[in-house]
Structure 1
Amino acid sequence: MNSITHVMKIHTKEKWGWFYISWVILLFSFLINLIIGIVTGGTEPIYTGGMASIFIYMLAAGIGTMQIFQFAVGLSVRRKDFYLGTTGMFIAVSAGNSIVLLIFSMVEKISGSWGVGLHYFNLPYLNDGSLIEQFFIYFIFMMNMLFLGFVIASIFLRFGRSGLLVFFGVLFVIITAVSFILTYFEKWGTFFHWVAGHSAFGISLWMIPVVLLYMIVSYLLLKRAIV
């Protein structure tokens, strides 16, 4: 347990990487949209996808954890302890960010979209459920992005650049094949109808097995990663 908490403490030393940069980017984007809303007088509602920036950043943060991996192994930290400590960090960061996002969403709703019709943190469909459901949506999506980044970094450490190129090549082929099948059999309408028939919370539940798969794959790759 001491080694696991030690790994988490190593992560927390990167305060800018874990806690500051993502929120600087997000709040800067929010400020720009707020200014636009003020200038336009709030005559038209503004819907923006700026909140996606923090989730995209979590992908980069997941990839960046492997820089600490080499340092931790050099301090004789077991790979299993590094994995568990990093998982703990992912959970803590995802939970903390989700709580703050939920607070901003509530403030936005109470303030009447900041008085200028700006829908930045509180969005239709995404925030239609209860507070617990909204928290879970944020949390599981952040965990998904963090562990996806962790898997990508693990592939690079285990197989190098060639392995990473093969991974993205296979991923591209799969996406292209699925897109072709949906187009050829005219199933896009069915797909979007299925999505529309489920709440954001319901869709987020499908991410649980995906996150678990990422966790298993990243652990297996980490055990054999080249330092």
Structure 2
Amino acid sequence: MNRTAGVIRTFYTDKTNCFFVPYMILLSSFLVNLVVSFFMDEGYYTGGISSIHIFMFVLGILFSVQSFPLVLGFGARRKDFFAGTVLAFLMLSVVNSLLLVVLGAIEQASGGWGQELHFFHLPYMNDGNVLVQFWVQLTLMTHLFFSGFVIAAVYRRFGRIGVWLLSLLLFVAGTVGVLLLTYYEAWTKVWNWFDGYTAGEAASLLWVLTLLYLGIAYLLFRRTTV
């Protein structure tokens, strides 16, 4: 447990990437969109909130690639690194998700910051009560971080060639999927399938992939040399 706690402390030692950079990116995106909203005659909807989600994906790669040899050098085991990283990010995700939900509530109560700006509170994403909104944000944060986490695990296990092969595999799979959906004119069916779920329900389904990422990352890190 002490070694796991040490990994958690190592995670939060990098306050720049954990807090400063994502919050500055989010703030910058918000201010730019707020200025733009002054020139709009009607409600302005923006996806700028995704900036913090995308950075969580980047953080999943950066921390795992940079800290893995350091943590093991201090005597931690591979399973300590895995458990510590997972717990540290879950705690960070809880904080970030609460912050986004609170900002969304303020935005809604203030009429979109007085400009009908929809930055933190968006249709579909913020449908449901506060707990559902928190669940959606928490799910997105963890899913993207652990997506980056498993990519870092591939890099640590197989090096750059492994990452390139993984990227190629995903590209080919995505291309084939798009071609098949287009050929069989199945886009409408796919859209209707997704449309049948609320944001909270879709978030719950997304945990299947997230747990799969975690399982793969665990197996790869256990067999990784420093």
In the alignment, does 2:52 pair up with 1:54? yes
% identity of equivalent residues:
39
Question: Displacement, 1:43?
Answer: 2.2
Give the match for residue 6 of structure 1: 6
Q: What is the TM-score normalised by the length of structure 1?
A: 0.97
Question: Displacement, 1:177?
Answer: 1.3
Give the match for residue 90 of structure 2: 91
Give the match for residue 35 of structure 2: 35
Give the match for residue 141 of structure 1: 140
Distance in 2, Cα, partners of 1:54 & 1:127: 16
Task: Give the AA of the match of 1:51.
Answer: I
Structure 1: stretches of 5+ with no match in the other structure: none
Of 34, 43, 47, the match for 1:45: 43
Give the match for residue 211 of structure 2: 212
How many residues in Structure 1 have an aligned counterpart in Structure 2? 225
Question: Displacement, 1:86?
Answer: 0.3
Question: Displacement, 1:81?
Answer: 0.5
- Aligned 1:156-175 pairs, distance under 5 A: 156-175=155-174
Give the match for residue 190 of structure 2: 191
Q: Secondary structure at the match of 1:116?
A: helix
Question: Displacement, 1:76?
Answer: 1.0
Where has structure 1 moved over 4 Å in runs of 4 or more? none
Task: Give the AA of the match of 2:143.
Answer: N
Task: Give the AA of the match of 1:73.
Answer: L
Task: Give the AA of the match of 1:153.
Answer: A
Give the match for residue 70 of structure 1: 69
Task: Give the AA of the match of 1:12.
Answer: Y
Q: Secondary structure at the match of 1:198?
A: coil
Question: Displacement, 1:117?
Answer: 1.0
Question: Displacement, 1:208?
Answer: 0.9
Give the match for residue 19 of structure 1: 19
Distance in 1, Cα, partners of 2:67 & 2:162: 21
Distance in 2, Cα, partners of 1:65 & 1:217: 17
Structure 2: stretches of 5+ with no match in the other structure: none
Which string of whole-angstrom CA distances, capped at 9 and with x for unpartnered residues, describes residues 143-194 of structure 1?
Answer: 1111110100110110011111111111111111111111111000111112
Task: Give the AA of the match of 2:73.
Answer: G
Task: Give the AA of the match of 2:42.
Answer: E
Task: Give the AA of the match of 1:205.
Answer: S
Give the match for residue 225 of structure 1: 224
Question: Displacement, 1:63?
Answer: 0.1
Q: What is the TM-score normalised by the length of structure 2?
A: 0.97
Task: Give the AA of the match of 2:58.
Answer: A
Task: Give the AA of the match of 1:48.
Answer: T
Which string of whole-angstrom CA distances, capped at 9 and with x for unpartnered residues, describes residues 110-154 of structure 1?
Answer: 001111010000001110111111101000111111111010011
